[in-house]
Amino acid sequence: MVNTAPTLQQDLIDRLRARSARVGVIGLGYVGLPLAVEFARAGFETIGFDVDVGKVRRISGGDPCGVDVARSDVEALTGNGRLTATTDFARLEALDSVNICVPTPLRKTKDPDLSYVVAAVEEIAKHLHVGQLIVLESTTYPGTVDEVVRPMLEASGLRGGEDFFLAFSPERVDPGNTKWTTANIPKVVGGIDVASTAAAKTLYEQIVTEVVAVSSPRVAEMVKLLENTFRAVNIGLVNELALMCHELEVDVWEVIDAANTKPFGFMPFYPGPGLGGHCIPIDPYYLSWKARQKGFESQFIELAGHINASMPRFVVERVIKALGDERKPLRAARVHLFGVAYKSDVGDVRESPALDIAQLLLRAGAIVSYSDPHVPTVNQGELVLVEVAPEAAFERGFDCAIITTSHREFDYGMIASRSPLVVDTRNALKGMSGAHIHRL
C-alpha cells in the first residue's frame, strides 16, 4: 500500500503557508478566542465552536465576552467573515485544522476531569477526514494525546500520522498580561510523529513569533505542567516563609526585596492569600495524579498544595487577631474585601482564594461585603454577593478591610487612611504605616 502521508503533509503545509487553509478552534474562552482572532487576523478563514449559545451569539455580534481581545478586532473579523462563531459541529468536516481549547478542571477528588476534551474529540471524530490536523491545547497529564485522543480519533478507521495529523501544544495564556500575548509567547509543539510535528509547527508559525518543536506529545504535555508546578512549589515555599516570618516578627516583603538584589541565583516569588486561576492551583495535581498511576509519590507538589491551600485560613486568623486587639469578635463583625478576582486587573474568580476567605468569614458569623471593579456579582453555590463600590463601602462602614486582590483601580491611600483595620495580603500598602495596618 502506498504511503500517502508525505503528500498529505506537504499539501497541508502548502495551504497553511498560503493562508488558504480553513482552521477551527473548539472552545471560545480565554485561550480559544484569542487564538481564533490571531488566525483570522492572519488571513485564515476561521470558525470558532462553542456549546454556549449565548456566547456564540455575543461573539458573532462583536462582543469578546470579557476575554483579553479588543472588541474592535472581533467586530472587524466577524464583520468581514474571517471569523465565524457557531454551535454547529458539523462544520468541522470542512476544516483543514482544528485546535481544542476546552477546560480541563479537577474533580472534587483532585483527579483530572477530561470530559470536555472527550466531548470535543467525539465531535471531531464524527467529521474527521484525510489530511486533517488536530491539535490539543487544553492542559492535561502526559499521555493524554496517546492514550485518550488518538484512540478515539482512530476509531473512525483513519490512522494517525498516515491519514491525519495529531499534536499537542500547551496554552500559555496569562490573562490580563498586555506584554505577553498569544502572538508573542513562544509556542511549544509535539506531534505523534515527525509529519504531525511539522504540520503543527507550520500552523503556529503563521501567527506566533517563535515555535519550539519537541520530540513527542508527552514532552509537550509535561512542559506546561513543569511551568506551573515550578510556580506552585515556589509560591508554596514563599508562603511558608511568610508564615515563619510572622512568627519571627520579620517583614517577609522586606526580606524578598533585599534578596532580589542578588544578580544571580535568585528569582523572587511573593506570598499571598492563596492560589487562584485556571492553571497554577490545578495543573500540579494533574502531574501528581499521573505520577501516582506509576507508583511515584510527588512529595514536593503535595506539600506545596497543602501550604497554598492553608493560606485563606491564615488570612482569617490574621483578621481575628486584628479585631481581637481592638476587643472585637469576628462574629457579627463587618469585613470588607477589596478584590475577589484571583489576580489583579482581571475579572476571573476561578479558584480565587478571596472566595475561600469570604466563605470562612461567613461561616464564622462575619458580615461580608466586597469591592471589585471587574466582578459585579459573586454567585458560587452558597456564596452570593453583590459588589459595593469603595466609596459606598466606606460610607456604609466596616470593621476590617482585607486587600485580597491588588487591582490598579483601587485607591490604596484611601483604603489605608479610611479603614479602621486593614489586613494587606498583597503588600499593596507598601511604604504606608500605621498600627491599624497588618501585613501578611
Residues marked active site are found at 279
Distances (CA, A) of 193 to 35, 165, 217, 378: 24, 8, 9, 46
> CA nearest 358: which of 390, 402, 416?
402
- The whole-angstrom separation of Cα 241 and Cα 400 is 25
What is the full DSSP assignment across 26-56?
Answer: E--STTHHHHHHHHHHTT-EEEEE-S-HHHH
CA-CA distance, 233 to 280, in Å (whole number)? 10
Q: Angle at the Cα of 201 (from 277 to 79), degrees rounded to 5?
A: 70
Please give the grid coordinates belonging to residue 397: 462602614
Q: Angle at Cα 224 formed by Cα 92 and Cα 42, nearest 5°?
A: 45
CA-to-CA separations, 371 to 229, 340, 366, 440, in angstroms, rounded: 31, 8, 16, 20
Largest CA distance in the chain: 85
